[in-house]
Structure formats: structure tokens, C-alpha cells
């Protein structure tokens, strides 16, 4: 089992008509993605079209990349989180890839970002 928890130091957002890719042998059709970078690892959230096949989440340890696959309508909150929170972390788990996620650290209630 490999678990990687890393601070996201930069990200890239892409929107388009046919952002297709192959993951786990599945040809996905995405309208957008958010790629999060930290050190030598990446975590990518793909936001799929309604007619796209949906592979399970994965963490490819040898490539140092994890991915999740979500409906396109969920892209807004994901972008909001990476754009407005700091610090933010990615969590990748090779045995339980369904736990792959981004998260903040503990923050006091009512804290405002500066």
C-alpha cells in the first residue's frame, strides 16, 4: 500500500469540448479538468460529459499521479476550493483510491483568507 499526502503548490484548469484521455484502459470524455501539483506528484480531477464512461478513481504509484472522475456539474466547487483555500492538500491511496481527495488543514471557524 502506498499513501501520499502532499501540499498543492500550483494548479491548472482546462475547459474544452473534447478533453479526452485514457485511464485504466477506459476512454473518458471530459469537458474540463483540474490538475493539482505538489513536489513530484500530481492529482487530477476530470469532469466528465454525461455520456462518458466513468472509471474508478486511481493512484498510479510509479507515475506519481492520482485521478478521480466526476460529473462536469461538480467542477465549480472543486475550482473554488483550489482557488480560494490555502494551504490545501491532496491525498492519494493506492489500496483505497476512492479516498483520493483534496482538503484543507484545520481552520478556525469564520477565518477569512488573506
Query: Alpha carbon 99 to chain centroid distance?
Result: 11
H or E segment at 83? helix 75-84
Mean pLDDT by 10 residues, the chain (114 residues): 95 92 92 96 96 95 97 95 93 96 84 64
pLDDT of residue 114: 60
Q: How many domains does the chain have?
A: 1
Residue 109 counted as domain residue = no
Q: How far is CA 25 from CA 53, 82, 83, 114, in A?
A: 11, 28, 31, 43
**Which one-letter DSSP state was computed for residue 75?**
H
Cβ-count burial 59-89 (b if 16+ within 10 Å, e if not): beeeebbbbbbbebeebeebbeebeebeebb
Residue 95 counted as domain residue = yes
The answer to pTM > 0.85 is yes
Residue 113 counted as domain residue = no
Host domain of residue 38 = 3-104
Amino acid at each position: 500500500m502506498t499513501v501520499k499526502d502532499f501540499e498543492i503548490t500550483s494548479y491548472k484548469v482546462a475547459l474544452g469540448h473534447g478533453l479526452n484521455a485514457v485511464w485504466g484502459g477506459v476512454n473518458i470524455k471530459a469537458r474540463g479538468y483540474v490538475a493539482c501539483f505538489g513536489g513530484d506528484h500530481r492529482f487530477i480531477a476530470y469532469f466528465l460529459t454525461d455520456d462518458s464512461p466513468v472509471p474508478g478513481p486511481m493512484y498510479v504509484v510509479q507515475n506519481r499521479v492520482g485521478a478521480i472522475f466526476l460529473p462536469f456539474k461538480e467542477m465549480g466547487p472543486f475550482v473554488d476550493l483550489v482557488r480560494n483555500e490555502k494551504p490545501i492538500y491532496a491525498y492519494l491511496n493506492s489500496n483505497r483510491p476512492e479516498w483520493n481527495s483534496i482538503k484543507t488543514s484545520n481552520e478556525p471557524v469564520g477565518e477569512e483568507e488573506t
